[in-house]
Amino acid sequence: MDYFLELLLGGLTRGSIYALIALGYTMVYGIIELINFAHGEIYMIGAFTALIVASVLTMNGMTGISVLILASVVAVLYSAAYGFTVEKIAYKPLRQAPRLSPLISAIGMSIFLQNYVLLAQTSDYLPFPNLIPVLPFMEPYSQLMGSTELVIVLTTTVVTVILTLFIKFTKIGKAMRATAQDRSMAMLTGVNVNRVISNTFIIGSALAAIGGVLIASHVGRINFYIGFIAGIKAFTAAVLGGIGSIPGAVLGGLVLGWTESFATGYVSSDYEDVFAFCLLVLILIFRPAGLLGRSTAQKV
Amino acid sequence: MDSVLEVNGTTMDFGGLRALHAVDLQVRQGEIVALIGPNGAGKTTFFNCVTGIYDPTEGDIFISPPGGKRRRINGIKINRAAELGMARTFQNVRLFPNMTVLENVMIGRHCRAKAGVLGAIFRGWDTRREEQEIVDHSYEILVKIGLADQVDELAKNLPYGAQRRLEIARAMATEPFLLLLDEPAAGMNPRETEALEELIVQIRDEEKISILMIEHDMKIVMSISDRIFVLDYGEKIAEGTPAEIRENPVVIKAYLGEDVNA
Amino acid sequence: MKALSEFKKALIISLWFMLLTFPIMVIRVNTIEKVVEWRWRNMAFIGIGSFLLSFVWRYLLGRKEKGRKLAEAGSVEARPFSRRLLDEPRIYRPALAAVTLFAVAFPFLFSSYQTNIMTTALMYVMLGLGLNIVVGLAGLLDLGYVAFYAVGAYSYALLNHHFGLGFWAILPVGALLGVLFGILLGFPVLRLRGDYLAIVTLGFGEIIRLILENWNEFSFGPSGIANIPRPGLFGIQMSLNEATIYLYFLMIALCLFTIFVVNRLQDSRIGRAWIALREDEVACQAMGIDKTKTKLTAFALGATWAGMVGVIFAAKTTFINPASFTFLESAMILSIVVLGGMGSIIGVILGAFILILTPEYLRAFSNYRMLLFGTTMVLMMVFRPQGIVTNVRRIYKFRARGRDGEPSQA
């Protein structure tokens, strides 16, 4: 029973991270129907930025929670800037192009960013300091769930709630929803579609950076390649929940997290990534609209 | 009795939306039938049901090709519909933009040829002959349609009116017994429309192809149709000869609205 | 005034990129020795580079926009370079002769190291031509193409290991297994939309690699399989150098074979159906083309070549492991197709040579290999989606109007 609980909580942590990254995929897809392949790399860059900032700060004698906060803030800002720039370079010129063009461009961008970090930093794994402080009240439960894991789950919850409220009630959020529904109609009613798309990339990238800082603390090491697998898995989560839907992304993330956790726990840990890929393939083939998505009629 | 297309009580639902409601329609051999109605009346949905793009929720669609057996075709595959002899054009022109005019028509011949992968690689005598037949036949159609001068032009470089004609040529290449034209005159200037009118009649008379067309241009509808069906909000509200439809008060009210005399 | 505002724009862009790349490009931390390295020089490079590139970027965008407007206005496009080349036998005949001579003489003029590199480039030509069927002609973005390559390589390695079968026996087997896997993997994905198809094929590619990595009893896991024999020639003993040259000519022959077959496929009823499917799926079906069958043929015929090249790869390196079959390999082949021009045979050949040989011969570039591939994909999509060589459509000859009695080109 303890083992089961351990896997359940492990899956929850994992799933929360997937959900955070999946939100970025789902938002971008909802608005411009593009699988932003480079999203995983934005998350990786977020983790790297946080590591660099945290290292510089600790070497200059700073300690404690302020390192976490500063590193996270810088990582979020930088990831957002990268997301914004990537969109301007690789996707904006391709608004009118056939569907496959921006997708190929996105794959190119993803490879570019991976190798940019590889060349400018290192190809080795870098140890990532756990920036999240140990919470004393979690001490008795540390067998089941550490402080880091608790922070991860709580952060995801808070971020999702804020994001949902933001999209529902703010002006930017409303413009985003309008653009997602019908881009040309939104444009006619005075929505600046280019700005909406930029905003979407900025928000999605910022969320990815939060995910990057959290998971790097959780796993304890990073390299330039972490974005690829994380990206695919988060995309799986987004599709699983129904791409374009925010609660769907969270649900998808959790389902994927639990699937992986239980499958590796009870079946075999060798095939950890295979489970995610199989889930992805099965979902796309049998229920491409996802768990919460609606299928739309083909327009002729 | 000699209907080539017979649609009985066809209903099409999309989720909660009823796009077609119990529509009946017949096209007889050698007829030009027009399907008219305001925007959103369900005309294109009707075409999509007949050509296998949608599977109607209720009702039956029968075809009886001349010299062939009568059969029910609800929910057949799209390509099967073409094989059985129903060819269509699209409301918003759907050519193969980066292929030449001739190649576009040659695609229409695809389902009447049979060369496979091995034939393509070894290019034996019968494959060559078949290819030549495809090329020659396609060219003949283009001559009839009046696009013979532009055979090697890319389809995307044609003027709009010519693109619409090319779509008809491509559809004719499949050797249909029934040609479904979705707003063939849309976007054409009066001269082009007149030529189109002649072309449609010519296709019917010389090729013995029956025609069902959706059209908004009342001039062409009234002058060449043998019968007209009127749809409104997914329901058939009238059918009859052009003269009958012109006098039909229900049509005038529903379709033309208040601006009858405008 | 305009020049000034252009200058200001470039300055802002340059500052933006200096700021953006600051943590990654300038700072490098060594967490073990606790030292921070500040590389301010990089910042200067980025600043100057992005300042200059922003002009090029905007110039090219402007040019593209102008070209589009001209096309919309209905003015006739200039004949693409490739068409002019094909229309002019006085240019292409000597060129072809020169290329042939060079190809034949190459292994005797250069070292076996160089010959090896050329052989690799030729392998990518073949892979590119194969993927070109799927992506370029049929318009199906297959991101798991490397899976078929792996199938070919492992079929040779394993069948040789267990049953002692030789290269020539396996080469057709590799091709057939490619077809089989193409159909097997192709079948479930055919209903999917373009971008979902891309992701699912990517998933399949990774699943196959992960299985090879973890199923030790079957594939010997990450340590791979060594001592795979080189291709034989009637049992003649060959020195390493001779074997290299032999493999080179073998690859030339196979490439010619591939070009021949792909060219014929492209100019056939099936090839036209692929292109029509790429151009407009619904219209294509409405013309009586069976979508499923057409897509499956494309998948299967594309996979054939990867299966064959896989066998050759195993024979060339004499050692294989799953690390050779990652997604990056698929991406590399894809960028060859994208650079060359989707659907263009000459383009794909050029693309393969450019992308494989540049990092090999310009040593300065060798570390930037993948960077080059990524950049290629983005730039080509933004500025020249049709590739470096525009695919020309064939001109057909018909009986009704004989084209000046010229023999129809095959």
User: pLDDT confidence of C77, banded at 50, 70, 90?
Assistant: low
The residue from B116, B137, B171 where one domain ends is B171
- Residue of C196, C214, C335 lying closest to A288 (CB–CB): C196
User: pLDDT confidence of C86, banded at 50, 70, 90?
Assistant: low
- Residue of B96, B121, B134 lying closest to C279 (CB–CB): B96
Within-domain flag for C11: yes
pLDDT for res C87: 67
**How does pLDDT run across A227-260, given as a tens digit for each residue?**
888 888 888 888 888 888 888 889 999 999 998 8
CB contact (8 A) between residue C381 and residue A102: yes
In a shared domain, residues C63 and C108? no
Which of C 378-397 lie inside 8 A of A, CB atoms?
Answer: 378, 381-382, 385
- Residue of B111, B127, B134 lying closest to C289 (CB–CB): B111
ipTM rounded to 2 decimals: 0.90
| Cα nearest neighbour of C74 on chain B | B157
CATH of residue B79's domain is: 3.40.50.300
User: pLDDT confidence of C336, banded at 50, 70, 90?
Assistant: very high
Q: Tell me whether A220 touches chain C (CB under 8 Å).
A: no
Kindly state the percentage of chain A with pLDDT values over 70.
95
Within-domain flag for B58: yes
User: pLDDT confidence of C405, banded at 50, 70, 90?
Assistant: very low
Give how many domains chain C has, as a whole number: 2
Within-domain flag for B220: yes
User: pLDDT confidence of C406, banded at 50, 70, 90?
Assistant: very low
In a shared domain, residues B77 and B205? yes
Within-domain flag for B150: yes
pLDDT for res C386: 82
* Alpha-carbon gap: B101 to the closest alpha carbon of chain C (Å): 11
- Residue of C23, C34, C378 lying closest to A90 (CB–CB): C378
In a shared domain, residues C208 and C305? yes
In a shared domain, residues B80 and B14? yes
In a shared domain, residues C168 and C41? no
Within-domain flag for B17: yes
Within-domain flag for C402: no
pLDDT above 90: residue C401: no
User: pLDDT confidence of C159, banded at 50, 70, 90?
Assistant: very high
- Strand residue runs (E) in C75-216: none
Asked if residue A206 lies in contact with residue A220, where contact means CB atoms within 8 angstroms, the answer is no
pLDDT above 90: residue C189: no
User: pLDDT confidence of C399, banded at 50, 70, 90?
Assistant: low
The residue from B141, B171, B201 where one domain ends is B171
* Alpha-carbon gap: C370 to the closest alpha carbon of chain A (Å): 7
Within-domain flag for B91: no
Which of B 27-86 lie inside 8 A of A, CB atoms?
Answer: 44, 48, 53
Report the distance separating Cα C121 and Cα C252, nearest Å.
10
In a shared domain, residues C64 and C97? no
| Cα nearest neighbour of B158 on chain C | C74
Arithmetic mean of pLDDT, C244-269? 92
Distances (CA, A) of B255 to B24, B221, B231, B241, B251: 18, 14, 9, 16, 5
pLDDT above 80: residue C80: no
Report the distance separating Cα C294 and Cα C289, nearest Å.
8
Asked if residue A43 lies in contact with residue A230, where contact means CB atoms within 8 angstroms, the answer is yes
pLDDT above 50: residue C407: no
Q: How would DSSP label each residue in A150-195? A: HHHHHHHHHHHHHHHHHHHHSHHHHHHHHHHH-HHHHHHTT--HHH
Give how many domains chain B has, as a whole number: 2
In a shared domain, residues B10 and B129? no
Range of the domain at C6: 2-72
- Residue of A89, A228, A284 lying closest to C192 (CB–CB): A284
* Residues of chain C contacting A111 with CB distance shorter than 8 Å: 328, 331, 370-371, 373-374, 377
The residue from C49, C72, C95 where one domain ends is C72
Q: Which residues pair with B193 in a beta bridge?
A: none
pLDDT for res C79: 57
Chain B neighbours (≥3 Cβ pairs under 8 A) are: A, C
pLDDT above 70: residue C71: no
pLDDT above 50: residue C409: no
Lowest mean pLDDT segment, chosen from A189-198, B62-71, C63-72, C382-391: C63-72
Helix (H), strand (E) at residue B164: helix B160-172
In a shared domain, residues B149 and B204? no
In a shared domain, residues C63 and C162? no
Report the distance separating Cα B31 and Cα C221, nearest Å.
70
Arithmetic mean of pLDDT, A108-123? 91
pLDDT for res B260: 43
pLDDT for res A133: 75
Lowest mean pLDDT segment, chosen from B146-150, C92-96, C230-234: C230-234
Within-domain flag for B112: yes
CB contact (8 A) between residue A300 and residue B14: no
**Between residues C348 and A287, the one the model is more confident about:** C348
In a shared domain, residues B140 and B260? no
Residue whose C-alpha is closest to residue C251's, from C126, C107, C340, C95: C126
* Residues of chain C contacting B141 with CB distance shorter than 8 Å: none
- Taking 50 as the pLDDT cut, the residues of chain B under it are 1, 259-262
Arithmetic mean of pLDDT, C25-43? 83
pLDDT for res A135: 74
Q: Tell me whether C374 touches chain A (CB under 8 Å).
A: yes
* Residues of chain C contacting B157 with CB distance shorter than 8 Å: 74, 76-77
> In a mutagenesis test of the B interface, which of C83, C396, C399, C401 is the best target, namely the one with the most B β-carbons within 10 Å?
C396
**How does pLDDT run across C112-152, given as a tens digit for each residue?**
888 999 999 999 999 999 999 999 999 999 999 999 999 99
* Residues of chain B contacting A297 with CB distance shorter than 8 Å: 14
Q: Which CATH number fits domain A2-286: 2.40.50, 1.10.286, 1.10.3470, 2.60.40?
A: 1.10.3470
| Cα nearest neighbour of C410 on chain B | B123
Longest dimension (CA), chain B: 66
| Cα nearest neighbour of C73 on chain B | B157
In a shared domain, residues C28 and C148? no
Distances (CA, A) of A39 to A34, A43, A87, A201, A207: 11, 7, 11, 9, 10
pLDDT for res C325: 93
How many Cα atoms occupy the beta-carbon half-sphere of C107 within 13 Å? 18
* Residues of chain B contacting A298 with CB distance shorter than 8 Å: 53
Lowest mean pLDDT segment, chosen from A271-275, B103-107, C343-347, C368-372: A271-275
Structure-block tokens of residue A181? 């529904």
In a shared domain, residues B184 and B262? yes
**How does pLDDT run across A37-49, given as a tens digit for each residue?**
899 999 999 999 9
In a shared domain, residues B163 and B192? no
Within-domain flag for B60: yes
Tokens 């509808």 belong to B221
In a shared domain, residues B102 and B81? no
pLDDT above 90: residue C62: no
CB atoms within 10 A of CB C4: 8
CB contact (8 A) between residue C280 and residue B95: yes
* Residues of chain C contacting B135 with CB distance shorter than 8 Å: 396-398
Arithmetic mean of pLDDT, A56-68? 83
pLDDT for res A83: 95
Within-domain flag for B135: yes
* Alpha-carbon gap: A98 to the closest alpha carbon of chain B (Å): 12
* Residues of chain B contacting C269 with CB distance shorter than 8 Å: 110, 113, 115, 119-120, 130-131, 134
Tokens 């990774």 belong to C206
Structure-block tokens of residue A35? 């699988």
User: pLDDT confidence of A136, banded at 50, 70, 90?
Assistant: confident
Q: What angle do CA A62, A68, A70 make, to 5 degrees?
A: 75
The residue from B153, B171, B189 where one domain ends is B171
> In a mutagenesis test of the C interface, which of B50, B99, B133, B152 is the best target, namely the one with the most C β-carbons within 10 Å?
B99
pLDDT for res B47: 92
Lowest mean pLDDT segment, chosen from A284-288, B241-245, C371-375: A284-288
CB contact (8 A) between residue C27 and residue A56: yes
Residues in CB range of A276: below 8 A, 6 or more apart:
A232, A233, A236, A256, A259, A260
pLDDT for res B256: 60
**How does pLDDT run across C350-366, given as a tens digit for each residue?**
999 998 988 888 767 77
In a shared domain, residues B254 and B194? yes
User: pLDDT confidence of A297, banded at 50, 70, 90?
Assistant: very low
For residue B182, the SS3 value is: strand
pLDDT for res A91: 92
User: pLDDT confidence of C84, banded at 50, 70, 90?
Assistant: low
Chain C neighbours (≥3 Cβ pairs under 8 A) are: A, B
Percentages (nearest 5) of helix, strand, coil residues in chain B = 40, 25, 35
Chain A neighbours (≥3 Cβ pairs under 8 A) are: B, C
CB contact (8 A) between residue B90 and residue A298: no
Report the distance separating Cα A186 and Cα A27, nearest Å.
16
- Residue of C76, C287, C297 lying closest to B174 (CB–CB): C287
Arithmetic mean of pLDDT, C377-392? 84
CB contact (8 A) between residue A273 and residue C210: yes
Find the Cα–Cα–Cα–Cα dihedral B204, B210, B215, B218, rounded to 10°: 60
User: pLDDT confidence of A105, banded at 50, 70, 90?
Assistant: very high
Range of the domain at B140: 96-171
Structure-block tokens of residue A191? 């929505």
Residue B184's φ and ψ, nearest 5 degrees, are -65, -25
User: pLDDT confidence of C82, banded at 50, 70, 90?
Assistant: low
In a shared domain, residues B2 and B81? yes
Which of C 114-133 lie inside 8 A of A, CB atoms?
Answer: none
pLDDT above 70: residue C410: no
User: pLDDT confidence of A143, banded at 50, 70, 90?
Assistant: low
- Residue of C275, C283, C396 lying closest to B102 (CB–CB): C396
